[in-house]
Amino acid sequence: EPEVTQTPSHQVTQMGQEVILRCVPISNHLYFYWYRQILGQKVEFLVSFYNNEISEKSEIFDDQFSVERPDGSNFTLKIRSTKLEDSAMYFCASRDGLSNQPQHFGDGTRLSIL
């Protein structure tokens, strides 16, 4: 069964450094999402992406964050200057273009900011 894959599984970065989290959505899916989950807290929506542009974003997704689909397969989340509070699990999700279809999630990247 096709799945969403995320790399790396764990990323350790110094505060203030840039980090790029990578995702390969399910082939032929058209909608892409990033969520995050701080340890012990709820899964929170960050951003949705469709037709090569951001569709929706939450208050969390400030100017330090950006997303890109650089080619036909990858979907990336960049944090420009990381802060301690960016430490979390980051989940990528995708869904196909048909109505009423579920989002499918990857297993996430654990981001640890030192």
Stretch of residues binding other proteins (CB under 8 A), selected from 11-19, 62-70, 71-79, 100-108 = 100-108
Q: Which is nearer to other proteins, 45 or 64 (CB)?
A: 45
Rounded CA separation 75/114 (Å): 25
Cβ-based burial of 98 (10 A; exposed 0-12, middle 13-18, buried ≥19): exposed
- Tell whether residue 76 is a contact of other proteins (CB under 8 A): no
Q: How many CA atoms lie within 13 A of 108 on its CB side?
A: 14
Q: Which is nearer to other proteins, 18 or 103 (CB)?
A: 103
Considering only residues 8-47, where is the footprint of other proteins by CB under 8 A?
30-31, 33, 35, 37, 42-45
End-to-end CA distance of the chain: 37
List CB contacts of 59: < 8 A, sequence separation 6 or more. none
Residues near other proteins (CB under 8 A) are 4, 30-31, 33, 35, 37, 42-45, 48, 50, 55-56, 58, 89, 91, 93, 95, 97, 99-100, 102-108, 110
